[in-house]
Structure 1
Amino acid sequence: MTNATLERTTLDISETLRKNSTLVYPFVSVFAIIAYFTITSPQFLTFDNATNIGRQAAVLLLVALAGTVVILIGSIDLSVGANVTLSGLVTAAAVDRVGLLGAIVVGVLAGAAIGFTNGVIYTGLKVPSFLVTLGTMSVCAGVAGHLSGGSAIVYSSTALPGFVNSKSVLGIPNVIFIVLAVAALLTAVSFRTKFGRYLYAIGGGEPVAVLSGINLRRYKVLAFVLGGALCGLGGVILTGQVQAGSPSAGDALLLDSIAAVVMGGTALSGGLGGAHRTVLGVVVIALLSNGMDLTGVNNFTQEIVKGLVVVASVALTIDRSRYSFIK
């Protein structure tokens, strides 16, 4: 091989890696995390711990998918954690009265209603999504406090915990199959339906989307409703896992979900990424959190690490060409 050919091959490889960097970094991170924690903790690479990681990551995946839908249109939802908390409390309060199916419906509708409120205020009053959802986060936290009286809502029904926590196939908890099915369905919706294509179009450039005849307000509201419904389902599952509704259940989900979204390669500028990439980002965050727990890393250090992951991921995935200047 001549020097010119070698140089050209090296340049081609570098260009390919640059173009696909948002996929390369998460995959490299997964293998690096697995290798490191396999060496430092003998319990890490076991079947029991793998199912434990899946169980722990289930709600995070739903919340991260909710964030992904909104981020794809170039917006952001900071109320996802508070939505999970309130939806979970509503589910816990309803399950003994309306049964398993009724409680699931009530919880999902509660989350969708919060998303609808966010979307209507955002599009109708033209308030930035950051500020709208920041306010909604506070409102949901207050309503959750009033509803629960500051303590957990405990229910007696065994149907919801049984549905969520049972192991029906190969010793794998049902909840893992549920959330993976949701992720697969959302991926199909994103790439195979008009709704999904419109979300990417809006995030890719609103002026072009308008010229294409897309009703921006309608699809932005629908994005927030879908995100809210996913958070509602997350609240239902979390309530089933812990067999109670907690007034602080979703507090830690906001940072972790944003970290998972950007780590997976969905750009905060919108129009790039999707549910399939968010699954990979959630795997990275779940492996990292589990590994740090097994190796005795304290919670404060874990928060520092996750914060650094968010900053690094945004720096690597942000499309700087979309901004005339960085605010």
Structure 2
Amino acid sequence: MAEIPATVAKKQGDFNLRTIVLPVIAIVVLVAYFSYVNPLFFSASNALNIGRQSSVLLMVALAGTVVILIGSIDLSVGALVTLTGILAALTVDRFGLAGATLVGIGVGALVGLVNGSLVTMLKVPSFLVTLGMLSILSGVANQISQGQSILFTDSLLPDLVNGSFVLGIPNVIWFALIATAVLTVVAFRTKLGRYLYALGGGEIVASHAGVPVTFYKILAFVLAGGICGLAGVMLTGQVGAGTPTAGSSLLLNSIAAVVMGGTALSGGIGGPHRTFLGVLVIAILTNGMDVTEVNSFTQDIVKGFVIILAVSLTIDRSKYLFIK
């Protein structure tokens, strides 16, 4: 295993300049443009709005990053956030903040376990497994909620998420930043992180090097599911209710953020720190289009182009003999 980190580091270096500089340039250009069009964009209050709006997205994008690093993908993240958010709303009055949080994280991790097991044990592509899981989770969420928002009376969860302990910055922003820092440390300073990169860099090579491939692939999905569960609880606290459409936009935006940040969909390249930059790009782009009154349909078109452009710039073509 001693050779894998060096290989990963070299590969990371090959993409380092392009995948970090481009998002930074995009952020500078977007801020300059939207500030010129509407001076209110460049203000402290709008910066906090961007932080609030993007915190849950950052959590979901981090979850997606974990799975994408191993060369897989999880299309169920948005539906999982919706379901765990509804479950948190249903349980918080009875079990309190701690109980609702444990339910959210536990259900998220369980779904991740199912996803990872189906991918590894049955050899079903992650795209198909999680596409099916997306439909299942959406159906369960709507069945539980009957298509209606779930209200609760507990005030601790909204107060914790929307309140501020430090510098007047909402706690939800701090939670997302802490999650980013922790996952970045995990990615670059732990065995788990090295193995995730190794799997994404080449599963067969990693297996020959002694990496327990099945275990760590499942663990990646479990970790992603747990993060989505926590994001669902945070979103419920932020909104003040569990809603059956809460996570509907998170899938597209999270994938856009991951690839825009420079984490390659082919796996093995990128990381949580890159995803943070990608989320900033998507958050600034979305907020700027809102501030400049671009309609939602046009916003979807723009984000679609962003995904195509970002994938074309970050994909590791050396992994593919043919592009199908």
Q: TM-score, normalised by structure 2?
A: 0.95
Distance 2:178 2:87 in 1: 24
**Structure 2 match to 1:87:** 84
Q: After superposition, what is the alpha-carbon deviation per residue over 1:107-146, rounded to whole angstroms, capped at 9, x for unaligned?
A: 1111111111100111111100000000000000010011
Instruction: State how 1:190-229 maps to structure 2 within 5 Å.
Output: 190-229=187-226
**Structure 1 match to 2:26:** 29
Give the one of 165, 180, 199 matched to 1:168: 165
Corresponding letter in the other structure for 2:211: I
Q: After superposition, what is the alpha-carbon deviation per residue over 1:207-226, rounded to whole angstroms, capped at 9, x for unaligned?
A: 11011111111000000000
**Contact 1:86–1:141 (8 Å) recurs in 2:** yes
Corresponding letter in the other structure for 1:122: V
Give the one of 92, 96, 106 matched to 2:93: 96
Distance 1:124 1:313 in 2: 32
Which runs of 5 or more residues in structure 2 are unaligned?
Answer: 1-12
Shift of 1:19: 5.8
**Contact 1:187–1:276 (8 Å) recurs in 2:** yes
Distance 1:226 1:237 in 2: 17
**1:284 equivalent in alignment to 2:293:** no
Shift of 1:20: 1.4
Give the one of 65, 68, 71 matched to 1:71: 68
Pair 1:18–1:134, CA change in 2 (3 A): closer
Distance 1:83 1:72 in 2: 20
Distance 1:262 1:30 in 2: 15
Give the one of 302, 319, 324 matched to 1:322: 319
**Structure 1 match to 2:7:** none
**Contact 1:17–1:24 (8 Å) recurs in 2:** no
Corresponding letter in the other structure for 2:268: G
Shift of 1:101: 1.0
**1:157 equivalent in alignment to 2:154:** yes
Give SS of 2:165's match. strand
Count the aligned residue pairs: 312
Q: Give the root-mean-square deviation of aligned CA atoms.
A: 1.1
Give the one of 122, 125, 128 matched to 1:131: 128
Give the one of 263, 288, 310 matched to 2:307: 310
Task: Give structure 1 regions of 4+ aligned residues with deviation exceeding 3 angstroms.
Answer: 16-19
Which runs of 5 or more residues in structure 1 are unaligned?
Answer: 1-15
Q: Which has the larger radius of gyration?
A: 1
Distance 1:247 1:144 in 2: 6
**Contact 1:265–1:277 (8 Å) recurs in 2:** yes
Shift of 1:43: 1.2
Q: After superposition, what is the alpha-carbon deviation per residue over 1:149-206, rounded to whole angstroms, capped at 9, x for unaligned?
A: 1101100100100000002222110111111001100000111110110000000001
Corresponding letter in the other structure for 2:301: I
Corresponding letter in the other structure for 1:97: R
Give the one of 265, 272, 277 matched to 1:275: 272
**Contact 1:116–1:225 (8 Å) recurs in 2:** yes
Distance 1:76 1:151 in 2: 30
Shift of 1:97: 0.4
Shift of 1:105: 1.0
Distance 2:16 2:153 in 1: 53
Distance 2:50 2:200 in 1: 32
Distance 1:112 1:146 in 2: 21
